[in-house]
Chain A
Amino acid sequence: MKNIKLIVGLFTVVIVGIILFNCSGSGESASAEDAAKRTYVKPGSYDEFYAFMSGGFNGQLSVYGLPSGRMFKNISVFSQNPETGYGYSEETKGMLMTSYGFIPWDDAHHPVLSKTNGEQDGRWIFINGNNTPRVARIDLSTFETAEIIEIPNSAGNHGSPFLTENTEYVVASTRFSLPIPNKDVPIASYKENFKGTVSFISVDNKSGDMNLAFQILVPGLNYDLAHAGKGPSHGWAFFTSYNSEQANALLEINASQNDKDFIAAVNWKKAEEYVKAGKAQKVSAEYYNNLYNEETHSAESKKLNDVLVLDPKNCPGMIYYIPTPKSPHGVDVDPSGEYIVAGGKLSTVIPVHSYEKMITAIEEKKFDGEFGGIPILKYDAVVAGEVENPGLGPLHTEFDGNGYAYTSAFLSSEIVKWKIGTWEVVDRIPTYYSIGHLMIPGGDSRKPSGKYVVALNKITKDRYLPTGPELTQSAQLYDISGDKMQLLLDFPTIGEPHYAQAIPADLLMKNSKKIYPIENNKNKYAVHGEKDARVERNGNEVHVYISATRSHFKPDNIEGVRVGDKVYWHVTNLEQDWDIPHGFTVKGLNNSELLVMPGQTKTIVWTPTKAGIYPFYCTDFCSALHQEMQGYVRVSDAGSSVKLSFN
């Protein structure tokens, strides 16, 4: 009897052992049940992290929860959004003004959360517009775009918007070099005429207001990505570049010839000194700075006309080139601030540079010639180590804060985990498919939350139910809390997320606004109560000051509008209740609808073209009597004698 018990006991141990081995030993996915448990956020509970994923070609920024992968919001940034009226309403059109006029779209790549002492502080998130070079700042109490600044003397604002340790500066670099100032020259005169810039946009510590502090003129290369130093390397910023061949055609071949390209190391504290010392030249350049005022609920667009430019020729010690293998893409600084990791996308190793060695090399003048007047440091004098066998096509690296780095490898479609200091690969796990960026919450900061890594994949193929030729983009969540990475979850994303960042939920939740206090609404066209609701004519402009509250508009019958009039609907939501927006549209509105938050005023312009009766209604199901929330406008022929009236 005792023996039988023993045998059963042993048998159980073996079975349990096999199950456990299968769960964790495969190095791939956790068992379905286990993974489900670890990503399940039960109804009514909250996710542990907010994740912000760039929308890429949709120009927006979307908000997700981790570990569930549920999407909460798509923040309108660089693209018009007819759901809310962003970029259509009179108040928000100004956000999308540039020196090229009104631009309804951009390509948004890299969201970066604001930092204090190198740690996330949850105040703002910045994101770049790639095509018409811009940087946006999003307020994390409203989750709305607060400011957009255009960057002159730039093209392809890809290496942006990476932040210095205390959000002193947003840095930016030009992917495409071009004549500066731009002019009409033969394209083949690239080497002679084309230049790049790296820009430093200062951020006001209180208000967050951005201001283009200065630019540095750099040789004509393709500047790709960037990161600022932290800790000991605070005061420096690093920019990758490729095309040291300076090709201007068929770059895939012509820019892939040299063994090494460059990381530009910029001593921005020194640059600040040069600016102070008057070494910067004031260059004329047209660009816009659009600031959203939360009290007037309106954008204020400001055109600027010049920028301070530093030429490295006049500023010794401000910038150096670090040779780096094969067209480096990402450049990432580890939490200690000592190591600078480059993702040489065609390289067979991941080179890791040492900040300390770089400083010594500069002091000891260990130079290997110069490029366009900028000293090139000796590779061996700066490199700390090389990660061997890091996968094919290494792109980006993030850190877990426990001494490990995680690099995405696009071609071999995997995440490679390696140890800082020994440069040994300790684990690898496939991604489905072709990972671009990867993201650990706080993984670019001094204090990462090394619990998950998210893979942002470029190719989806067979991972989800097919939806015709255009498929969803795929994100994947991996647990990295143990020795072995484990795949927990696939979740679809919208647009094309390039980079993403995540932050512990409690840092943002407590600051999230519920309403806009109506008494602070300083919009010129706001109504502060139904008694203020009215309609006024000014020539052929008709201004409708209309209030919305459950479940009626005031006024809701308007007569005396004529064909040829320009009708301004100034809609104020008088509600002061959480999550009670009202929508507004009118039949034949050749413009977007409006979605107005409690306490907010938005204006949409309507130009009726035919006489008749036009109903308008609330588009957001606001209340039990939402279907009753409607009104009529009577439009008469031009020259009609129907008097303007309303109730």
Chain B
Amino acid sequence: MLEVLLNCLSINKEVIPGEKMKNLSKWLMITAAVILLGAFLFPIWNIDLRAPQYPEGLGLRIWVNQITGQKEGDLNLINNLNHYIGMKTIHPESIPELKVMPYLIVIFSVMGIAFGLFNRKWLKIFWLALLLLVLSYGLYDYYLWGYDYGHNLDPRAPIRIPGMTYQPPLLGTKQLLNMNAKSVPSIGTYIITLSILLAAASTYLSFKKEKRIDGI
């Protein structure tokens, strides 16, 4: 995988002298850290709802710091429709994660830039591991929210189907009454993934460099 990536970056490790490779590894890490900020520009997760009455589509966009509709008014609309099944309304301003996540992104970015400048492979591994840990927890947390919304339903809701819950899938599609819910990562997540790959490439180069030096 990394080999492929490096090839894509037209890096031929055979002809890159040590100093140059060191530079490359440094800039890859810094780039990775800066790119991470791009996660602010796009949603990180999409939940698309499809139903016969909504040929124009309906959906939620989860950002690192907010939740919006696929188009204007969708969030209100979904909240309104959900009262039929007794689901709680979604109020982005009362979700603490949306306040914490932006700080985490900025912290990781600043940390990443610093580690890039030091260009120490253990720092970079530490950064990667911590980021992956945080992301995994984030995904778990997201699952918990979905579980809560999908299971804790108002017992007086107009539509009550014994045994039926409305938790959206973490990844993939699920039919919820007349709604087909599809949950997939969005551009923000791809940006984070790219950042991780670049950081990994940078780390990989650090190892290569050491091996080479060992070899000489």
Q: Which residues does A use to contact B, with CB under 8 Å?
A: 515, 517, 549-551, 575-578, 624-625, 628
Q: A625's closest neighbor in chain B, by CB?
A: B158
Residue with the highest number of chain B CB atoms closer than 10 Å, among A549, A577, A624, A625: A577
- Known A-B contacts A515-B73, A625-B158; the reply to A575 vs B84 at CB < 8 A is no
B73:A576 contact, CB within 8 angstroms? yes
Interface of B is mostly: loop
B84:A577 contact, CB within 8 angstroms? no
Please name 15 pairs of A and B residues whose Cβ atoms are closer than 8 Å in the assembled complex, sorted by A: A517-B72, A517-B73, A549-B80, A550-B80, A551-B158, A575-B77, A575-B80, A576-B73, A577-B77, A577-B80, A578-B56, A624-B84, A625-B84, A625-B158, A628-B158
The 7 closest A-B pairs by CB, nearest first: A576-B73, A577-B77, A576-B76, A625-B158, A576-B77, A549-B80, A550-B80
Within 8 A of A (CB), among B43-99: 56, 72-73, 76-77, 80-81, 84
Chain B residues with CB under 8 A of A517? 72-73
Interface of A is mostly: loop
Q: B159's closest neighbor in chain A, by CB?
A: A624
Q: How far is B80's CA from A397's CA once the two chains are assembled, in angstroms?
A: 54
Q: Which residues does B use to contact A, with CB under 8 Å?
A: 56, 72-73, 76-77, 80-81, 84, 158
Q: How far is B128's CA from A373's CA once the two chains are assembled, in angstroms?
A: 94
Q: How far is B76's CA from A517's CA once the two chains are assembled, in angstroms?
A: 12
Q: How far is B72's CA from A281's CA once the two chains are assembled, in angstroms?
A: 52
B97 to chain A, nearest CB (A): 26
Chain A residues with CB under 8 A of B73? 515, 517, 576-577
Q: How far is B81's CA from A625's CA once the two chains are assembled, in angstroms?
A: 12
Chain B residues with CB under 8 A of A624? 84
Q: How far is B71's CA from A578's CA once the two chains are assembled, in angstroms?
A: 12
A580 to chain B, nearest CB (A): 9
Chain A residues with CB under 8 A of B81? 550
Chain A residues with CB under 8 A of B84? 550, 624-625
Chain B residues with CB under 8 A of A577? 73, 77, 80
A529 to chain B, nearest CB (A): 10
Residue with the highest number of chain B CB atoms closer than 10 Å, among A517, A549, A550, A576: A576
Q: A514's closest neighbor in chain B, by CB?
A: B56
Q: How far is B84's CA from A628's CA once the two chains are assembled, in angstroms?
A: 12
B91 to chain A, nearest CB (A): 13
| New A-B pairs, 11, CB < 8 Å, besides A517-B72, A550-B81, A625-B158 | A515-B73, A550-B80, A550-B84, A575-B80, A576-B72, A576-B76, A576-B77, A577-B77, A577-B80, A578-B56, A625-B84
B26 to chain A, nearest CB (A): 49
Q: How far is B80's CA from A139's CA once the two chains are assembled, in angstroms?
A: 30
Chain B residues with CB under 8 A of A576? 72-73, 76-77
Q: A624's closest neighbor in chain B, by CB?
A: B84
Chain B residues with CB under 8 A of A551? 158
Residue with the highest number of chain B CB atoms closer than 10 Å, among A517, A578, A625: A578
Q: How far is B72's CA from A625's CA once the two chains are assembled, in angstroms?
A: 25
Chain A residues with CB under 8 A of B56? 578
B78 to chain A, nearest CB (A): 10
Q: How far is B84's CA from A641's CA once the two chains are assembled, in angstroms?
A: 38
Q: How far is B70's CA from A300's CA once the two chains are assembled, in angstroms?
A: 36
Q: How far is B76's CA from A628's CA once the two chains are assembled, in angstroms?
A: 21
A516 to chain B, nearest CB (A): 11
A563 to chain B, nearest CB (A): 35
A518 to chain B, nearest CB (A): 9
Q: How far is B76's CA from A575's CA once the two chains are assembled, in angstroms?
A: 9
Q: A578's closest neighbor in chain B, by CB?
A: B56
Q: B69's closest neighbor in chain A, by CB?
A: A576
A248 to chain B, nearest CB (A): 59
Q: How far is B81's CA from A549's CA once the two chains are assembled, in angstroms?
A: 10
Chain B residues with CB under 8 A of A625? 84, 158
Q: How far is B78's CA from A550's CA once the two chains are assembled, in angstroms?
A: 12
B72 to chain A, nearest CB (A): 8
B73 to chain A, nearest CB (A): 4
Chain B residues with CB under 8 A of A550? 80-81, 84
Chain A residues with CB under 8 A of B158? 551, 625, 628
Q: How far is B51's CA from A578's CA once the two chains are assembled, in angstroms?
A: 14
